[in-house]
Amino acid sequence: MLHLDWPWVLLLLPLPLVTYFFLPAKSIEQDAALQVPFLDDFNLSQQVRHQSQKAHWLTYLSLLVWCLMVLAASRPQWLGEPISININGRDLMMAIDLSESMSIEDFKAYDGAVDRLTATKIVMKEFINNRKGDRLGLILFGSQAYLQAPMTFDTVTVNRLLQESAIGLAGERTAIGDAIGLALKRLQASQGSDIQQNEGQKMSQVLILITDGANTAGAVSPMKAAQLAAEKNLKIYTIGIGADEMTRNTWFGTQIVNPSTQLDEKTLRGIANVTGGRYFRAHDTEEMIKIYDLLDKLEPVEQDEEKFRPNSALFHWPLALALCLGFVICLRRV
């Protein structure tokens, strides 16, 4: 259906008529330098009639231009059919480790070895794309924690920001406690601020924390931050990544080493237990895919279905036609 966003602008349509009736017309005789009583003698009567008809047509065109410009100013839009949006009530924050150890190439993808951050991006890309109806946020942490993307329904932007992240961007060490604290702060601040909620309902808030090490930086200990999160009903799912065995070529030949010796599974498991979440251990890309099932295990708060109507702006059509007719009027007056 056709909709005018500013219909009150149409009140300006009769403005030319008001001007015509209330402002005195300028007398033609005042500009005449010489009045001739016999126009036929000068063969000017036909020319005067032609000029009069021309003036009438230009007046009609000018009125049409005015009407088109007023119509364009009223912001006409074409509204489509209503589309339903299912809001399942989840606020999901993701905290991704960017410390130096994430550069270890102990994962397999694309028929070759990739570093841990690249493997995380591969898995999280599809995971984020499947989160329709959820609000997502992104925190990147190393020596410090940074909010890369606030809570939003725009999964495309969140995914792009994650894919653009790089190892060492937030420092070389690992501040797990600060990442949890920042996530809690941002989730609490965004609770109910960007979405209409029913009275007495709250969004289900979840943090997915992915790391390959132990807390070596930051002002807040991970367990203290987890206790604060539990008090605020923030559920944390922790994922420890990294292989248990890795072949490495050295001066003394091929050696099998454990690249995940720095992974603090005890703390990650404790964080998950305190907040009512779950700890996952991902030794390879296949095990990382388990995070696809995380949100399926949650029980989101039911909310009323929301609807919106797509709209397309139409103001440019009457505006373009008015400009064309205005150009014609200028040519005819020359």
Listing DSSP states for 212-256 in one string gives: SS---S-SS-HHHHHHHHHHTT-EEEEEEE--S-EEEEETTEEEE
What is the residue-averaged pLDDT of the chain? 79
What gap in Å lies between CA 225 and CA 204, rounded to an integer? 19
* For the chain, percent of residues with pLDDT exceeding 70: 74
Instruction: Tell me the pLDDT tens digit for each residue of 261-293.
Output: 788 889 999 999 999 988 988 877 787 877 767
119-136: average pLDDT? 84
CA angle 250, 255, 259 (to 5 degrees): 100
Cβ-Cβ contacts under 8 Å for 161 (sequence gap 6 or more): 138, 148, 149
Cα 149 to Cα 157, 161, 275, 332, distances in angstroms: 8, 7, 23, 57
pLDDT greater at residue 119 or residue 38: 119
71-79: average pLDDT? 89
Paired tokens of 259? 């690249």
Half-sphere exposure of 240 (CA within 13 A, CB side): 23
CATH annotation of 91-194+202-307: 3.40.50.410
Would you call 291 helix, strand, or coil by DSSP?
A: helix
Paired tokens of 277? 């979440």
In this predicted structure, what is the pLDDT of residue 158?
Answer: 93
What are the DSSP calls for 96-135, one per residue?
EE-SGGGG---EEETTEEE-HHHHHHHHHHHHHHT-TT-E
Paired tokens of 192? 């109910």
DSSP 199: T
Q: Which of 115, 183, 178, 182 is nearest to 143 (CA)?
A: 178
Q: Where are the domains of the chain?
A: 2-23+38-80+309-333, 91-194+202-307
Instruction: Tell me the pLDDT tens digit for each residue of 210-241.
Output: 998 888 888 889 999 999 999 988 999 999 98
In this predicted structure, what is the pLDDT of residue 164?
Answer: 92
Q: How confident is the model at residue 200 (pLDDT cuts 50, 70, 90)?
A: very low
What gap in Å lies between CA 22 and CA 18, rounded to an integer? 6
What are the DSSP calls for 46-68, one per residue?
HHHHHHHHHHHHHHHHHHHHHHH
pLDDT > 50? residue 196: no
| Contact call for residues 274 and 234 (beta carbons, < 8 A) | no
What gap in Å lies between CA 245 and CA 257, rounded to an integer? 6
pLDDT > 80? residue 69: yes
**Which residue type occupies 97?**
D
pLDDT > 80? residue 201: no
Q: What H or E segment, with its residue span, contains residue 97?
A: strand 90-97
